[in-house]
Amino acid sequence: MKTPYLLGIALAAGAILTAPVAEARITKIEITSTESPTFGGTTFGSVGAYEKLRGKAFGELDPADPRNAVIVDIELAPRNAGGKVEYSMDIYILKPIDLSKGNHKVFMEVNNRGNKLFADFNSSSGGNNPTTAAHAGDAFLMHQGYSLAWNGWDISAAPGGDRLTITVPVATNPGGATITGPSYEYIVFDNSTTMTSALAYPAATLDKSQATLTMK
């Protein structure tokens, strides 16, 4: 199967003695839509109303930095003119319109397959695009004055449904040949009718003798 690799946001690296500076950084942020106010104009105590910002963040990181060696096949990734590996990801921000009334803290949530999970904090229906007063629920986080932020990170997150996605380059062998190797698929279902399951990566071969299925 084809093997893309995962990229994440890393902190900028400082110089060590006289060694050159290695950086992993966000190079550009594009805000593609703003809704101000959001939540139907609902205000949250002394914090006031919130606004919603949606867009994309673009980043790059150094494949030669030893700290990035944990990223599978990063040394085989395509690079830009500066020798860095580029990626882009969706970003989603809910924040007080007047930041001076907030608590100057960020609630940064790691989403699940692109889906937001914060609803339980607010006793609300939440959803991937909270917009109405009902989506705010009892608004615990908003009443506390938090700015809320999400970004795409999971390459398996399917587009659509307001899920957060990330776009990363596909690593190839020298000369452009596809990288293949074993992939572990964990399939869970709780019914007697499911007969198929989508693979995380396209199969390199349909020869069933090359695959192993175990069940418990």
pLDDT in tens, 183-206: 889 998 889 999 998 888 888 899
- In 10 A of CB 15, how many CB atoms? 9
Residues 6+ positions from 19 with CB-CB distance below 8 Å: none
**What is the value of pTM for the model shown?**
0.80
Higher pLDDT, 102 or 181: 102
Cross-strand pairs, 25: 60
Q: At residue 102, does pLDDT exceed 50?
A: yes
- Residue 31 in 3-state DSSP? strand
Question: CA 214, CA 182: separation in Å to the nearest integer?
Answer: 15
CA distance to 116, 130, 142, 195, per residue, from 122 (Å): 12, 11, 8, 38
Question: CA 117, CA 124: separation in Å to the nearest integer?
Answer: 11
What is the per-residue pLDDT across 134-189, written as a single tens digit (0 to 9) for each? 999 999 999 999 999 999 999 989 899 999 999 999 999 998 899 988 888 999 88
What is the per-residue pLDDT across 2-19, written as a single tens digit (0 to 9) for each? 333 333 323 232 333 334
CA distance to 1, 165, 216, per residue, from 183 (Å): 7, 21, 19
Taking alpha carbons only, the member of 133, 136, 159 closest to residue 148 is: 136
- What confidence score (pLDDT) does residue 12 get? 30
* Residue 74 structure tokens: 């990063």
Q: Which of 39-48, 108-117, 173-182 is the least confident region?
A: 173-182
Interval 201-213 mean pLDDT: 89
Mean pLDDT of all residues in the chain? 88
